[in-house]
Structure 1
Amino acid sequence: MKHYKTLAFFAALALGAGCASSNKAPAQAGAPAAQSSTAPESRIDGNFPANSPFAKLKLGMTQGQVHEILGQPTDTKSYQTGKAWIPFYFGPDVMRTDEFYKGVGIITYTGAGIGGVHWTVFRAIYNAAEDGYPND
C-alpha cells in the first residue's frame, strides 16, 4: 500500500507534465520572420552542365533509377542520423547512404526505417573535382 501512493504520485506527475507541453511556438508581436541564409538540407546543388546525366536527377528518385542514369558509384558510405536515437521515431530517416561518383559528385539517400529500406534521393551535390571516396 505504501508503494501505491508513490506510484500514483509519479503517474500524476508524468500525466501533468505531458499535458503541459505544447508544440506551438510563442507569438512574437511585430517581429519579422527570420530568414535562413543556409541552403535547405534536401536539395540538388552544383553548377552541372545541362547535358550532364546529373541534370536528370530528381529528389525522391530510387537508388535503382539513379544507377540507371549514372551507373555504379566509385564508393559508398552508410551512417545513422540523430533520429535513430529518438525512442518513438518510426519514420524513414534513421539511416543515410552516400554514393561517391568520381568526377561527378555525391548522392545522398534516405529511407531506412522501421518498415525496411527504400533508398530515395535526399541530396545530390555536383562536384567535377570529386575524387570518388569518402574523405572522413
Structure 2
Amino acid sequence: MPTCKLVLISVVAFLTACAAHQAPSPASPPAATPAASGAAASSDSRTVPSRDGSYQGEITGQARPGSKFARLQVGMNMEEVQTVLGRAPDRLHTYESGKRWIPFYFGNDARRMQVLYKGEGCLILTGGNVWGGAGGDLVSIHHDATGACYQP
C-alpha cells in the first residue's frame, strides 16, 4: 500500500509541475529566425491552388522576369516541368513525408522529391505512395537563383 501512495504522490507532483509551466501566449510574437544563406523570407511565401483545384501548393519568392520558372504551375507533373524548363534537374533527392506512417494511406504523397535547377530555384514534387507508384505532382515552387533552397 505504501507504494501506491508514493506513485500517487509522484503523479500529483508531476501534474502540478506541468500545470505550473506556462506556454508562450499566442499574443507574443514568434522568435525571429534568421534567413538561411539567402533563402527567401517566409513572408514572401503564398499558398495557391493546384491547376485542377484538388490541393493547395506553395510558391516562395518572385520569379525573375523572363525566367522559365515563371511559367511553372502547382499541379504540373514532372514531365511537364522538364518540358517547360527544357532540361532535367541538376540535383534531386527524395524523403519520406509524415503521411508515410498513416495506416491505410494510399495517396501519392507518402514520399516527396526535392529538385534543384541551378540559377532558377527548387521544386518539391510528390514522390509516390508507400509502394513507390504514382507521384510526380508539383506541390511547391521556390524561386531562388542562389540555390540555397536545396537542402539534401
Q: What TM-score do you get using the length of structure 2 for normalisation?
A: 0.57
Deviation at 1:86, TM superposition (A): 1.1
2:139 aligned with 1:122, yes or no? yes
Aligned length: 99
Q: CA RMSD in A?
A: 2.4
1:80 and 1:111 mapped to 2: Cα distance? 8
Structure 1 contact 97–108 (Cα < 8 Å) conserved: yes
Rounded to whole Å, the distance in 2 between the matches of 1:87 and 1:126 is 35
Tell me what 2:39 maps to. Answer: none
Question: Residue 102 of structure 1 contacts residue 131 of structure 1 at CA under 8 Å; is this kept in 2?
Answer: no
Identity of aligned residues (%): 32
Deviations 1:53-108 (A, max 9, x none): 01100011010111112211110010110110111222221011011111111010
Matched, 1:107 2:123: yes
What amino acid is aligned across from residue 44 of structure 1 in structure 2? I
Residue 90 (structure 1) aligned to one of 106, 113, 116:
106
Match of 1:43 in 2: 58
Q: Is the 8 A contact 2:76 2:137 kept in 1?
A: yes
* Counterpart code for 2:79: G
- Quote the Cα distance in structure 2 between the aligned partners of 1:118 and 1:128: 26
